[in-house]
Structure 1
Amino acid sequence: MEKSVLHKADTRGSADHGWLKSLQTFSFGGYYNEKRIHFGALRVLNDDTVDGGKGFGDHPHDNMEIISIPLEGELLHEDSMGNKAVIQAGEIQVMSAGTGIYHAEYNKNPYLPVKFLQIWVFPNQRDVSPRYDQIKLNTLSDQNSLQQILSPNKDDDGVWIYQDAWFHMGKFDQDNKALYKLKKEGNGIYFFVLKGDLKVNDQVLNTRDGYGIWDVEDALLEAESATEFLIMEVPMEVKL
């Protein structure tokens, strides 16, 4: 029997550090909600805005798959592996923190804000060698289709991580429909609407709403208006 959890946009945690404004779907930092620790292997979904020229100084991570998806602006990345890169809207970045990594992220533009999603996924392997990757997404053929942007497979479309997870981006015109079929038994699907209105089965979601479903084989998607959204399929059982 299908199970679900709805996280409306205005129920998210929030943090305002002046230069950083963050809206948090799951418990993070100073925001704690015992009912919203994670959705299966999906641990963090932060909707961040960083002021011009500001950013996060060197800080450590380990044993976590960390994905950044810029929505507006440019994000400058530096890490202890010697990587230095700029990621921008239309790209996706991934780090397997593994045995440990330090990194810093800054808004490259001194005047305009950068907006991005910061996503953490529990890995299925611990203490791997840290790795970094970023790619440019194919934004020319993504209208009214589901574009895969992440998977567990090195040879598939998108970046890859140490987890049986698949991410897709959708950009639909009003009334466009699609059927999403789960890739692996035991996984669940978490939908996050970037803008517009999306109906998942019988549940209507609005801008920045999140909705997780599991114990299903597929989900019917219908755009109630022009909409953009992220689909995150992840295992529901994880060894923490």
Structure 2
Amino acid sequence: MEKPGKIYLADQRGLIENSSIRRYSTFNFESFFNEHKTAFQNLFIFNDDSVAAGKLNFYLAKENSLHLFMPITGGIDIVAKNNEFSVETGQVQLLSLEKGEVLEISNPYKSDVINYLHLGIINDFALVKDQLFSFDFDKNPNKLIDIISGYKFPFKLTAGIFAGREEANYKLQEKSNSLFTFIIDGAFEIEGRLMHARDGLALWDTEDVEFEALSNNAIVVNLELFV
């Protein structure tokens, strides 16, 4: 029996584009609204942002929330709470923001466009410090890597790069938890669903999730949301 879930197709995301940024939003964000693109559990932002060389953009926190920034190509500089953060590929920056705080996110390169994922999770209770996490796909091929995990976090973040026909199984910590998975590159079959680059999939009421890569260098990132 097919496990309950919802697919968020890449070509149905919201698009905001100007001379500085091209932003694809999986969920409703700022001027993009669609009644079928409401937040999934506490995950209310999943943006795929590309910033032009030397340009910057801003984010105003409208909720007490945790934010993850994961560069896909290049790196980003972030200014938050009078602190500066530099994040490169192979790293994820976690920032804890209070309602009303503003982030400045910039592309430090003079001639290259950069691309990063921005995830936002509503967080009213857990006290989580700003932290930088690193991972290495090259040393851990064909498996899901724990990037952020532990009792103090209200979520778990994993990712992996796979060769074609390689398989993986993700076991949720609790059946009451839910999983949001996003294909960065390539194609996967996930619980009988065919997923392509930049597609997202929300799953719930399950204990484990099976993945099969359908192309080489297929990359997936998973966010388990705790109850």
Going from structure 1 to structure 2, the CA distance change for 1:207 and 1:168 (only over 3 Å counts) comes to same
1:146 counterpart residue number: 144
- Residue 146 of structure 1 aligns with an amino acid whose one-letter code is L
Unaligned stretches of 5+ residues in structure 2: none
Go from structure 1 to structure 2 and tell me whether the alpha carbon gap of 1:210 and 1:109 turns closer, same or farther (over 3 Å shift).
Answer: same
1:158-237 to 2 correspondences below 5 Å: 161=153, 163=154, 165-226=155-216, 227-235=218-226
User: Does 2:115 align with 1:125?
Assistant: no
- Report the secondary structure of 1:10's partner residue: helix
Question: C-alpha distance in 2, partners of 1:57/1:47?
Answer: 15
Deviates more, 1:50-59 or 1:4-13: 50-59
> CA separation in 2, counterparts of 1:62 and 1:221?
33
In 2, Cα distance between the equivalents of 1:231 and 1:56?
26
* Distance (Å, rounded) in 1 between the aligned partners of 2:167 and 2:215: 11
| Cα deviation digits, residues 160-213 of structure 1 (max 9, x gap) | x4x1x1111010101111111111231111111011110112111011111111
1:67 Cα shift? 0.5
- Identity among equivalent positions (%) equals 24
The 8 Å contact of residues 21 and 57 in structure 2, kept in 1 or not, is answered as no
Give 1:57 shift.
4.5
Aligned length: 225
TM normalised by structure 1 equals: 0.87
RMSD across aligned positions (CA): 2.0
Please tell me the residue identity of whatever aligns with 1:132. D
Distance in 2 between residues matched to 1:224 and 1:12, nearest whole Å: 23
Deviates more, 1:181-190 or 1:130-139: 130-139
Unaligned 5+ segments in structure 1 are 155-160
TM-score computed with the length of structure 2 as normaliser: 0.91
- Is the contact between residue 62 and residue 99 of structure 1 (CA under 8 Å) also seen in structure 2? yes
User: Is the CA contact (8 Å cut-off) linking 2:60 and 2:100 kept in structure 1?
Assistant: no
1:23 is aligned with what amino acid? Y
Find the aligned partners of 1:181 and 1:220 in 2 and give their Cα distance.
Answer: 9
Task: Work out whether residues 187 and 195 of structure 2, in 8 Å CA contact, stay in contact via their aligned partners in 1.
Answer: yes
Aligned to 1:135: 133
Residues 133, 148 of structure 2: 8 Å contact kept: no
